[in-house]
């Protein structure tokens, strides 16, 4: 079976050297040496400041909402976000007592349509939570202008945008905070993990207290907190993956370039923001109907190849995610017709040829 994604597994020798240090220090969690080292190295690699490592990408969102004062109040809060995203973008808001209000997406970039944000703002709106979908940059200037006009916080869900630059600057530098997921299948991962990049140092310092139960000393608790810390073992995986990140990215770029060359005139593709670099985190394409999309998935299953309907379904169609029915026809349509193709660093050339051959056969067959 050819999977749609496969974790990048770093050198065992490299990983073992980090684990040996953990055994020597007998320090497994609570801001250990490797967590501190990974924090420094990621800030350097990503060219950002105020980075905080956490246990996963969902907690990254929830801690960001709390630290910025979006959640955790008695005020009935709302946040404007996209329905074309992984479920955690919206469910993390719901867990924090913030109602997601969905605005539709741009039909070419698949990111939140900034022109629809203002009409969704109410007296309860506290934030905008856009997603850099598949690593593609949102309309950052328009979103930030709206946020300034209405005094709203902006938290960018940047789970797919590791290493992406926008106008020559890290895409993680925009908004009041940006969050990353370091799940095993991500371009960069720690097995399980995540990070928040804050615009302001004071927000970082508050979040640091929050992820450790609010504890600031042996006999001091200053915040309402939770356990969201990253362990030393997860940091060891992250450091090992980061040591080999350039090799991983180069291999993925080769895979993505092959797909682009072979499929550029076939199927519908995401239009990339011209001001942003591309990290080739995903290879999505869109078919003309949902019926054909379902048939394609089944066709590939018969060939022992996994393609994923991602993101499906559009979150606006899931009743538990929201109370207000907003018209999100573009998101609903794209979500019903999308598939993501296999991409990982050790995907062989022969396998790539096989995948493309089956795609073209399917296109010509119906």
Phi/psi-derived region of residue 58, left when phi > 0, alpha when psi is between -120 and 50, beta in every other case: alpha
Q: Tell me: the pLDDT tens digits for 55-69?
A: 999 999 999 999 999
Q: Tell me: the pLDDT tens digits for 82-103?
A: 999 999 999 999 999 999 999 9
pLDDT of 321: 54
Q: Tell me: the pLDDT tens digits for 185-207?
A: 999 999 999 999 999 999 999 99
Please list, in sequence order, all residues whose beta carbon lies within 8 angstroms of the beta carbon of residue 59, skipping any fewer than 6 positions away: 194, 211, 226, 228
Domains of the chain: 12-243 (3.40.640.10), 245-365 (3.90.1150.10)
Phi/psi-derived region of residue 134, left when phi > 0, alpha when psi is between -120 and 50, beta in every other case: left
pLDDT of 189: 98
Which stretches within the chain are classed as H helix?
12-25, 33-46, 57-67, 87-95, 140-150, 201-210, 232-243, 245-263, 290-302, 329-337, 349-365
The b-or-e profile of 280-313 (16+ CB within 10 A means b, else e) is bbbbbbbbeeeeebeebeebbeebebbbbbebbe
Q: Which residues of the chain have pLDDT under 70?
A: 74, 320-326, 366
The residues facing 108 across adjacent strands are none
Q: d(Cα 42, Cα 156) in Å, to the nearest integer?
A: 18
Longest dimension (CA), the chain: 70
**Which one of the listed residues 186, 199, 209, 229 is annotated catalytic?**
186
Q: Tell me: the pLDDT tens digits for 229-245?
A: 999 999 999 999 999 99
pLDDT of 301: 96
pLDDT of 363: 82
186 carries an active-site annotation: yes
Q: Are 172 and 36 in contact (CB under 8 A)?
A: no
């Amino acid at each position: 079976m050819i999977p749609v994604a496969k974790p990048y597994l770093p050198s065992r020798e490299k990983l073992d050297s980090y684990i040996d240090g953990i055994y020597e220090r007998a320090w497994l969690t609570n801001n250990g040496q490797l967590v501190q080292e990974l924090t420094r190295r990621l800030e350097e690699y990503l060219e950002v400041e105020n980075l905080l490592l956490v246990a996963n990408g969902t907690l990254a969102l929830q801690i960001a909402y709390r630290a910025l004062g979006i959640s955790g109040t008695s005020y009935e809060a709302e946040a404007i976000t996209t329905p074309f995203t992984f479920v955690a973008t919206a469910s993390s808001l719901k867990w924090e007592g913030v109602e997601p209000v969905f605005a539709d997406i741009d039909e070419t970039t698949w990111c939140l349509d900034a022109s629809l944000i203002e009409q969704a703002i109410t007296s309860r709106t506290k934030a905008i939570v856009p997603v850099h979908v598949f690593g593609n940059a949102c309309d950052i200037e328009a979103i930030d202008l709206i946020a300034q006009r209405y005094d709203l916080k902006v938290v960018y869900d940047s789970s797919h945008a590791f290493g992406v630059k926008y106008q020559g600057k890290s895409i993680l530098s925009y908004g009041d905070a940006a969050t990353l997921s370091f799940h095993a299948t991500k371009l960069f991962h720690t097995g399980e993990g995540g990070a928040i990049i804050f615009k302001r140092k004071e927000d970082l310092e508050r979040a640091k207290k929050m992820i450790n139960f609010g504890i600031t000393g042996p006999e001091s608790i200053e915040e309402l907190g939770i356990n969201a810390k990253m362990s030393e073992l997860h940091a060891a995986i992250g450091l090992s993956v980061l040591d080999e990140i350039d090799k991983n990215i180069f291999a993925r770029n080769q895979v993505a370039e092959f797909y682009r060359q072979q499929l550029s005139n076939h199927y519908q593709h995401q239009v990339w923001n011209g001001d942003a670099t591309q990290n080739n985190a995903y290879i999505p394409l869109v078919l003309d109907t949902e019926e054909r999309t379902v048939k394609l998935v089944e066709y590939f299953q018969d060939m022992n190849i996994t393609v994923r309907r991602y993101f499906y379904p559009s979150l606006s169609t899931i009743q538990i995610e929201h109370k207000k029915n907003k018209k999100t026809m573009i998101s609903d349509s794209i979500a019903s017709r999308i598939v993501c193709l296999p991409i990982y660093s050790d995907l062989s050339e022969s396998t790539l040829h096989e995948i493309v051959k089956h795609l073209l056969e399917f296109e010509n067959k119906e």
